Chain A
Amino acid sequence: MLMLRAGFAAGFVVFGSIVVVRLLAFAPQAGFKIVPGVVLGLAMIGLGVHRIALIVRRLRNADA
């Protein structure tokens, strides 16, 4: 279960990165209009990292 959740979290990080990269490619012609999409990608990365941090902390506590 923990591995499944870690997989989901990693998926969010990857997916968020793809969204950011795809939108940044249009930065020169679109300007600030890519901001909502970039924030979306960053929020996905943030959620993924938050979940991974919780899982790592839980694993560390289990080891201790």
Chain B
Amino acid sequence: MAQPPIPQTRPPQLRRAVTPWGSFSWGYSDVGADIFIGLGLVLAAAAGASNVAFLFAGIVYVCIGLAYTELAAAYPFAGGGPYFVLRGLGDVFGFIAGWAVLLDFTIDITIFAWSCIDYSSQLLPMLVGSAHPWVHFLAVLGLIVALCFLNVMGVRESTAFNGIVAGIDVLSETAILCFGFLFAFRPELLIHTMQASWPSPYHLMLGTSLAIISFVGLESISQAAQETYRPASVIPRTSVALILTILIFALAYSNLALGMQPWHPILDAHGHHLQFWQIFPHDQDNQGKAVALLAAQVPYWGALASLYVPVLGAILLLISSNSGVFGSSRIAYSMSRADLLPSIFQRIHARFRTPAVSIFAFCGLAAVTLMFAALPSLFPRAMSLYVRLFHGESGLDFLADLYAFGAATSYSFVFVALIALRLVDPFSPRKFKIPVNWPVRFRGENTGIPIIGIFGFIGIFSILVFTLMTHPIGRIAGPAWLALGFILYLIYRRHRGLPLFRSQKHDWQRHQMEILRTSGDLELLDQYTANLKAAAERKKAGA
């Protein structure tokens, strides 16, 4: 993430071979899986206002997506949010943002592996968490261990595989939603549900903070940037499609879930008819596989969907869990290269040439969070402790708490970095610029403050506040994770004799030229050089 020293012989570079569809599918396989987890949790928390929770989080997500698109197209380097924050705000904030992303990626490993087993349980009842907690726990742990060793050996799903799964999933979800809206959606039922089951402000805030987890994974846009040919042209095109597709699916599922007339009657224990969304509150098994349950209730297509959606969902969730292993190890590796983390995270396995220490460290951490999440179901006596300390949150809630906290924290920093980079680096050509800007003059250069960025920051910051207010575990474990990391950062920097609260010297201009040169966007490199020259001449003339 920091600029690498420019050596005499050029080091091996990532090959730029990702096509527009590859770029889309890379992002989709990361973000697209989130709704498979988020839907059930939000329906359980926000009830009749679930679609409002998704709308609020979705609007914030559109702002975040636009920010990532601008930054990834301007700085096509595989460092993601922490890299943008490091460039815009310096080492300390770069570390905090990176540490928050590491929390997210670690939880990502556990929560997606957990949900992958939940979706599989739709076809394999012996994996149902409430009935067989030990089998469920061991299956999730087995997945994490398997992903860990596959990543150490360097086996990773290819872009082509991602593309096929993403393509099938987009078609499948489109079919489910088309059949659902054509044959089962009743607008009058949606309005009735919203009026009759409107939640308390507390639950609406809880639902909104959970809805943001349906939109996590935009790091992949910038991760893919370094392997995309001419990223400044391709990324804005694919990002807009990705942002709209994810937003549509999230809003469509939530509206459909609230206004759907189930194909088969759903009855409670006393034989009373239930609406579809009512099967989620207080049922952790259902929350973990909401999309599969909804698909099965869609007329006509549901007969087929009930068989393949659990499998498709499990595959997509497994890919996302794997991207957590891959992402956490790579971000720790790049943070270590930037002197933000100890050099042990740079250690490469002698045979497989992968960052094995990072992979083992974060998979180990994921296993620890899994144990904490599964504790109440494995040992019912531990439940009383959870009830006393954490309002009796379930395992999936615990993971979602931390996931929402990490996402809201890192996204908040990205918005600030976006605004800071507009001010401190007006020279980098931005082929995609967020619309609606307030023109300002800063250090003698004309630039613009993105108004949408400011609104986005207010939105994501309010979601961060909702998370702290409504998540009993998130408000303790999230800040504790940041505080612990910051203490380790200070100890490490002191040990290395590096500035504690200031940044090291970075030659960002040289680094930017290297990025643009390798990206294939040579006209942007010319433009950048011309901008720098013109600024130097203006400065000279002014002096």
Interface set of A (CB-CB < 8 Å, partner B): 15, 18-19, 22-23, 25-26, 29-30, 33-37, 39-40, 43-44, 46-47, 50-51, 54
* Binary A-proximity of B151-185 (CB < 8 A = 1, otherwise 0): 00000000000000000000000000010010000
B490 interface contact, C-beta 8 A? no
Q: How far is the CA of A29 from the CA of B245 in the complex (A)?
A: 30
Which residue, of B181, B188, B248, B252, has the highest number of chain A Cβ atoms within 10 A? B248
CB-defined contacts of A29 to chain B, threshold 8 Å: 191
Q: How far is the CA of A42 from the CA of B308 in the complex (A)?
A: 30
A33 lies within 8 A of B191 (CB): yes
Binding site of B, secondary structure by majority: helix, strand, loop or mixed? helix
Mark the stretch among B47-55, B328-336, B385-393 that contacts chain A: B47-55
Interface set of B (CB-CB < 8 Å, partner A): 51-52, 54-55, 58, 178, 181, 187-188, 190-191, 194-195, 237, 240-241, 244-245, 247-248, 251-252, 254-255
Q: How far is the CA of A11 from the CA of B84 in the complex (A)?
A: 38
Q: How far is the CA of A18 from the CA of B255 in the complex (A)?
A: 14
Binding site of A, secondary structure by majority: helix, strand, loop or mixed? helix
A33 lies within 8 A of B195 (CB): yes
Please pick, from A23, A43, A46, the residue contacting B187 in the complex, using a CB distance under 8 A. Answer: A23
CB-defined contacts of A22 to chain B, threshold 8 Å: 187
Given A23-B187, A29-B191, A40-B252: A50 and B181 interface contact (C-beta under 8 Å): no
Instruction: Report the minimal beta-carbon distance from A58 to chain B, rounded to whole angstroms.
Output: 11
Instruction: Report the minimal beta-carbon distance from B90 to chain A, rounded to whole angstroms.
Output: 36
Please pick, from B51, B178, B245, the residue contacting A37 in the complex, using a CB distance under 8 A. Answer: B51
Instruction: Report the minimal beta-carbon distance from B103 to chain A, rounded to whole angstroms.
Output: 30
Counting residue pairs across A and B whose Cβ atoms lie within 8 Å, the total is 56
Which residue, of A22, A29, A34, A39, has the highest number of chain B Cβ atoms within 10 A? A39
A30 lies within 8 A of B191 (CB): yes
In the A-B complex, the 9 residue pairs with the closest CB atoms: A36-B51, A40-B251, A47-B244, A30-B191, A36-B55, A33-B194, A43-B248, A37-B255, A43-B247
Instruction: Report the minimal beta-carbon distance from B297 to chain A, rounded to whole angstroms.
Output: 19
CB-defined contacts of A26 to chain B, threshold 8 Å: 187-188, 191
Given A36-B254, A51-B241, A54-B237: A44 and B248 interface contact (C-beta under 8 Å): yes
Residue of B nearest to A31 (CB): B191
Q: How far is the CA of A25 from the CA of B302 in the complex (A)?
A: 28
Which residue, of B54, B195, B255, has the highest number of chain A Cβ atoms within 10 A? B255
CB-defined contacts of A50 to chain B, threshold 8 Å: 240-241, 244
